[in-house]
Structure 1
Protein backbone atom coordinates (compact mmCIF):
# COMPACT_ATOMS: atom_id res chain seq x y z
CA UNK A 1 0.00 0.00 0.00
CA UNK A 2 2.88 2.39 0.73
CA UNK A 3 4.18 2.19 -2.86
CA UNK A 4 0.72 2.89 -4.23
CA UNK A 5 0.13 5.88 -1.98
CA UNK A 6 3.53 7.43 -2.73
CA UNK A 7 3.15 6.97 -6.47
CA UNK A 8 -0.38 8.40 -6.24
CA UNK A 9 0.89 11.52 -4.48
CA UNK A 10 3.65 12.00 -7.06
CA UNK A 11 1.19 11.38 -9.92
CA UNK A 12 -1.34 13.89 -8.59
CA UNK A 13 1.36 16.49 -7.99
CA UNK A 14 2.96 16.07 -11.39
CA UNK A 15 -0.38 16.07 -13.19
CA UNK A 16 -1.38 19.19 -11.29
CA UNK A 17 1.91 20.88 -12.13
CA UNK A 18 1.37 20.21 -15.83
CA UNK A 19 -2.17 21.57 -15.65
CA UNK A 20 -0.96 24.72 -13.88
CA UNK A 21 1.19 25.55 -16.90
CA UNK A 22 -1.82 25.61 -19.25
CA UNK A 23 -3.71 28.77 -20.07
CA UNK A 24 -6.89 26.89 -20.99
CA UNK A 25 -6.84 23.22 -20.03
CA UNK A 26 -8.63 20.92 -22.46
CA UNK A 27 -9.56 17.26 -22.23
CA UNK A 28 -6.68 16.09 -24.49
CA UNK A 29 -4.17 18.12 -22.43
CA UNK A 30 -5.57 16.73 -19.18
CA UNK A 31 -5.36 13.17 -20.48
CA UNK A 32 -1.81 13.77 -21.73
CA UNK A 33 -0.83 15.18 -18.34
CA UNK A 34 -2.26 12.16 -16.52
CA UNK A 35 -0.65 9.64 -18.86
CA UNK A 36 2.81 11.24 -18.93
CA UNK A 37 2.82 11.88 -15.18
CA UNK A 38 2.40 8.19 -14.33
CA UNK A 39 5.85 6.95 -15.41
CA UNK A 40 7.31 10.15 -13.99
CA UNK A 41 5.69 9.35 -10.64
CA UNK A 42 7.34 5.93 -10.59
CA UNK A 43 10.65 7.53 -11.57
CA UNK A 44 10.29 10.11 -8.78
CA UNK A 45 9.70 7.36 -6.23
CA UNK A 46 12.70 5.40 -7.53
CA UNK A 47 14.88 8.52 -7.38
CA UNK A 48 13.82 9.24 -3.80
CA UNK A 49 14.59 5.65 -2.81
CA UNK A 50 17.97 5.76 -4.61
CA UNK A 51 18.97 8.73 -2.49
CA UNK A 52 18.10 6.62 0.55
CA UNK A 53 16.06 9.23 2.37
CA UNK A 54 12.76 8.96 4.16
CA UNK A 55 10.45 11.94 3.79
CA UNK A 56 7.80 12.96 6.31
CA UNK A 57 6.08 16.01 4.85
CA UNK A 58 3.69 18.10 6.91
CA UNK A 59 0.16 18.74 5.65
CA UNK A 60 0.46 22.48 6.37
CA UNK A 61 3.20 22.75 3.73
CA UNK A 62 0.61 22.32 0.98
CA UNK A 63 -0.47 25.91 1.58
CA UNK A 64 2.90 26.94 0.13
CA UNK A 65 1.52 25.86 -3.24
CA UNK A 66 -1.30 28.36 -2.89
CA UNK A 67 1.22 31.20 -2.73
CA UNK A 68 3.13 30.17 -5.87
CA UNK A 69 0.85 31.67 -8.58
CA UNK A 70 0.60 35.10 -6.93
CA UNK A 71 4.29 35.21 -6.10
CA UNK A 72 5.27 34.06 -9.60
CA UNK A 73 3.25 36.83 -11.24
CA UNK A 74 4.43 39.54 -8.82
CA UNK A 75 8.07 38.45 -8.91
CA UNK A 76 8.10 38.13 -12.71
CA UNK A 77 7.34 41.82 -13.06
CA UNK A 78 9.79 42.79 -10.35
CA UNK A 79 12.52 40.57 -11.81
CA UNK A 80 12.10 42.02 -15.28
CA UNK A 81 12.41 45.58 -13.98
CA UNK A 82 15.38 44.63 -11.80
CA UNK A 83 17.28 42.95 -14.64
CA UNK A 84 16.67 45.82 -17.04
CA UNK A 85 18.06 48.28 -14.50
CA UNK A 86 20.81 46.06 -13.08
CA UNK A 87 21.84 43.21 -15.43
CA UNK A 88 24.22 41.75 -12.81
CA UNK A 89 21.64 41.76 -10.03
CA UNK A 90 21.38 38.94 -7.55
CA UNK A 91 23.26 37.55 -4.58
CA UNK A 92 23.76 34.29 -2.80
CA UNK A 93 22.46 33.81 0.73
CA UNK A 94 22.21 31.09 3.33
CA UNK A 95 18.80 30.48 4.86
CA UNK A 96 18.52 28.60 8.14
CA UNK A 97 15.84 25.94 8.48
CA UNK A 98 14.15 24.78 11.68
CA UNK A 99 15.69 22.02 13.74
CA UNK A 100 13.41 19.04 13.16
CA UNK A 101 13.67 15.26 12.77
CA UNK A 102 15.76 14.05 9.83
CA UNK A 103 12.83 12.71 7.75
CA UNK A 104 10.90 15.97 8.17
CA UNK A 105 13.98 18.02 7.29
CA UNK A 106 14.55 16.07 4.07
CA UNK A 107 10.92 16.51 3.08
CA UNK A 108 11.10 20.26 3.85
CA UNK A 109 14.23 20.68 1.71
CA UNK A 110 12.64 18.85 -1.24
CA UNK A 111 9.37 20.78 -0.97
CA UNK A 112 11.16 24.09 -0.47
CA UNK A 113 13.38 23.59 -3.52
CA UNK A 114 10.35 22.83 -5.69
CA UNK A 115 8.14 25.63 -4.38
CA UNK A 116 10.76 28.36 -4.09
CA UNK A 117 12.20 27.42 -7.48
CA UNK A 118 8.80 27.93 -9.08
CA UNK A 119 9.13 31.69 -8.76
CA UNK A 120 11.75 33.88 -10.47
CA UNK A 121 12.83 35.89 -7.42
CA UNK A 122 14.69 33.15 -5.54
CA UNK A 123 16.22 29.80 -6.51
CA UNK A 124 17.57 27.06 -4.26
CA UNK A 125 21.16 26.45 -5.36
CA UNK A 126 22.36 23.90 -2.80
CA UNK A 127 21.30 21.98 0.25
CA UNK A 128 24.38 21.11 2.28
CA UNK A 129 23.86 17.52 3.50
CA UNK A 130 24.89 18.00 7.12
CA UNK A 131 23.50 21.48 7.68
CA UNK A 132 20.01 22.75 8.45
CA UNK A 133 20.12 25.37 5.73
CA UNK A 134 19.51 26.17 2.10
CA UNK A 135 21.86 28.10 -0.15
CA UNK A 136 19.75 30.33 -2.38
CA UNK A 137 20.29 32.86 -5.12
CA UNK A 138 18.12 35.91 -4.57
CA UNK A 139 17.40 38.11 -7.52
CA UNK A 140 14.97 40.22 -5.53
CA UNK A 141 15.15 41.28 -1.88
CA UNK A 142 12.94 39.34 0.47
CA UNK A 143 10.79 36.41 -0.57
CA UNK A 144 7.52 35.92 1.29
CA UNK A 145 7.40 32.34 0.13
CA UNK A 146 10.92 31.64 1.36
CA UNK A 147 10.07 33.24 4.70
CA UNK A 148 7.14 30.87 5.07
CA UNK A 149 9.24 27.85 4.08
CA UNK A 150 11.78 28.57 6.83
CA UNK A 151 9.16 28.70 9.60
Structure 2
Protein backbone atom coordinates (compact mmCIF):
# COMPACT_ATOMS: atom_id res chain seq x y z
CA UNK A 1 0.00 0.00 0.00
CA UNK A 2 1.29 3.46 -0.85
CA UNK A 3 0.25 6.41 1.28
CA UNK A 4 1.22 9.95 0.30
CA UNK A 5 1.17 12.61 2.99
CA UNK A 6 2.93 15.83 3.83
CA UNK A 7 5.38 15.01 6.63
CA UNK A 8 4.36 18.11 8.60
CA UNK A 9 0.71 16.95 8.52
CA UNK A 10 1.72 13.50 9.71
CA UNK A 11 3.71 14.93 12.61
CA UNK A 12 0.91 17.31 13.63
CA UNK A 13 -1.83 14.68 13.04
CA UNK A 14 -3.75 17.12 10.84
CA UNK A 15 -4.84 17.08 7.24
CA UNK A 16 -5.14 13.90 5.21
CA UNK A 17 -3.17 11.35 3.25
CA UNK A 18 -3.93 9.94 -0.17
CA UNK A 19 -3.87 6.23 -0.96
CA UNK A 20 -2.60 5.00 -4.32
CA UNK A 21 -6.28 4.49 -5.24
CA UNK A 22 -6.87 8.24 -4.74
CA UNK A 23 -8.94 7.76 -1.57
CA UNK A 24 -8.25 10.25 1.23
CA UNK A 25 -7.47 9.01 4.74
CA UNK A 26 -7.41 10.99 8.00
CA UNK A 27 -4.00 11.73 9.52
CA UNK A 28 -4.96 9.92 12.73
CA UNK A 29 -5.66 6.75 10.75
CA UNK A 30 -2.31 6.97 8.96
CA UNK A 31 -0.50 7.40 12.29
CA UNK A 32 -2.29 4.31 13.67
CA UNK A 33 -1.38 2.27 10.57
CA UNK A 34 2.25 3.40 10.89
CA UNK A 35 2.39 1.95 14.41
CA UNK A 36 1.17 -1.45 13.19
CA UNK A 37 3.08 -1.76 9.92
CA UNK A 38 6.54 -1.60 8.46
CA UNK A 39 6.78 1.94 7.11
CA UNK A 40 9.14 2.75 4.27
CA UNK A 41 9.36 6.53 3.90
CA UNK A 42 10.09 8.00 0.48
CA UNK A 43 11.34 11.58 0.47
CA UNK A 44 10.40 13.44 -2.69
CA UNK A 45 12.19 16.30 -4.41
CA UNK A 46 10.57 19.47 -5.72
CA UNK A 47 9.24 17.66 -8.80
CA UNK A 48 7.99 14.64 -6.80
CA UNK A 49 11.05 12.58 -7.73
CA UNK A 50 12.25 10.10 -5.06
CA UNK A 51 15.40 11.28 -3.27
CA UNK A 52 15.29 8.86 -0.33
CA UNK A 53 13.66 5.45 -0.47
CA UNK A 54 14.72 4.28 2.98
CA UNK A 55 14.96 0.51 3.11
CA UNK A 56 12.53 -0.11 0.24
CA UNK A 57 15.29 -0.98 -2.22
CA UNK A 58 19.05 -1.25 -2.51
CA UNK A 59 18.89 0.02 -6.08
CA UNK A 60 19.32 3.78 -6.48
CA UNK A 61 16.38 5.40 -8.33
CA UNK A 62 17.14 7.71 -11.26
CA UNK A 63 16.31 10.93 -9.39
CA UNK A 64 18.60 10.01 -6.50
CA UNK A 65 21.33 9.07 -8.99
CA UNK A 66 20.99 12.51 -10.62
CA UNK A 67 21.35 14.14 -7.19
CA UNK A 68 24.52 12.09 -6.58
CA UNK A 69 25.90 13.08 -9.99
CA UNK A 70 25.42 16.77 -9.14
CA UNK A 71 26.71 16.50 -5.57
CA UNK A 72 29.80 14.36 -6.28
CA UNK A 73 30.50 15.26 -9.93
CA UNK A 74 31.86 11.77 -10.63
CA UNK A 75 34.05 9.51 -8.51
CA UNK A 76 34.20 11.36 -5.20
CA UNK A 77 37.55 9.89 -4.13
CA UNK A 78 40.11 12.72 -3.81
CA UNK A 79 42.01 13.21 -7.05
CA UNK A 80 39.92 10.86 -9.21
CA UNK A 81 38.49 12.29 -12.43
CA UNK A 82 36.09 9.51 -13.48
CA UNK A 83 32.83 10.90 -14.85
CA UNK A 84 29.51 10.02 -13.14
CA UNK A 85 28.46 7.51 -15.82
CA UNK A 86 31.58 5.45 -15.00
CA UNK A 87 30.76 5.27 -11.27
CA UNK A 88 28.83 3.06 -8.87
CA UNK A 89 26.60 4.40 -6.11
CA UNK A 90 28.14 3.02 -2.90
CA UNK A 91 26.18 2.73 0.37
CA UNK A 92 28.34 4.10 3.21
CA UNK A 93 26.37 2.08 5.77
CA UNK A 94 25.80 -1.07 3.74
CA UNK A 95 22.21 -1.76 2.75
CA UNK A 96 22.51 -5.38 3.90
CA UNK A 97 23.44 -4.08 7.37
CA UNK A 98 20.45 -1.73 7.62
CA UNK A 99 21.71 1.28 5.64
CA UNK A 100 19.18 3.44 3.81
CA UNK A 101 19.17 4.29 0.12
CA UNK A 102 19.40 8.05 0.55
CA UNK A 103 21.72 10.86 -0.47
CA UNK A 104 23.28 11.07 3.01
CA UNK A 105 24.26 7.38 2.82
CA UNK A 106 25.57 7.21 -0.76
CA UNK A 107 28.70 8.27 -2.58
CA UNK A 108 29.78 7.87 -6.22
CA UNK A 109 32.91 5.77 -6.73
CA UNK A 110 34.65 4.41 -9.81
CA UNK A 111 35.28 0.66 -9.89
CA UNK A 112 38.86 1.02 -8.60
CA UNK A 113 37.96 3.26 -5.66
CA UNK A 114 34.83 1.23 -4.88
CA UNK A 115 37.02 -1.85 -4.40
CA UNK A 116 39.55 0.22 -2.46
CA UNK A 117 36.85 1.39 -0.02
CA UNK A 118 35.67 -2.21 0.50
CA UNK A 119 39.13 -3.76 0.87
CA UNK A 120 41.65 -0.97 1.54
CA UNK A 121 40.52 0.30 4.96
CA UNK A 122 39.61 3.77 3.69
CA UNK A 123 36.60 5.28 5.44
CA UNK A 124 34.01 7.64 3.96
CA UNK A 125 31.57 9.99 5.70
CA UNK A 126 29.20 12.67 4.45
CA UNK A 127 29.93 15.89 6.36
CA UNK A 128 27.83 18.98 5.64
CA UNK A 129 26.59 17.36 2.44
CA UNK A 130 30.06 16.53 1.08
CA UNK A 131 31.97 13.22 1.06
CA UNK A 132 35.12 13.10 3.18
CA UNK A 133 37.65 10.27 2.93
CA UNK A 134 39.90 9.10 5.76
CA UNK A 135 42.94 7.10 4.62
CA UNK A 136 44.32 4.06 6.46
CA UNK A 137 47.23 4.68 8.86
CA UNK A 138 49.91 3.37 6.48
CA UNK A 139 49.01 6.15 4.02
CA UNK A 140 48.56 8.89 6.64
CA UNK A 141 49.56 8.01 10.23
CA UNK A 142 47.42 10.93 11.48
CA UNK A 143 44.46 9.74 9.38
CA UNK A 144 43.44 13.28 8.40
CA UNK A 145 40.11 13.32 6.51
CA UNK A 146 40.29 14.62 2.94
CA UNK A 147 37.42 16.31 1.08
CA UNK A 148 36.14 14.45 -1.92
CA UNK A 149 33.90 15.09 -4.88
CA UNK A 150 33.84 17.91 -7.32
CA UNK A 151 30.32 19.27 -7.25
CA UNK A 152 28.75 20.79 -10.33
CA UNK A 153 28.76 24.56 -10.08
CA UNK A 154 26.21 26.30 -12.30
CA UNK A 155 27.65 29.00 -14.56
TM-score range, shorter chain: under 0.3
Q: Which has the higher relative contact order, 1 or 2, with Cα contacts under 8 A spaced 6 or more apart?
A: 1
Where is the helix percentage greater, Structure 1 or Structure 2? 1
TM-score, reference length from structure 2: 0.25
Where is the strand percentage greater, Structure 1 or Structure 2? 2
TM-score, reference length from structure 1: 0.25
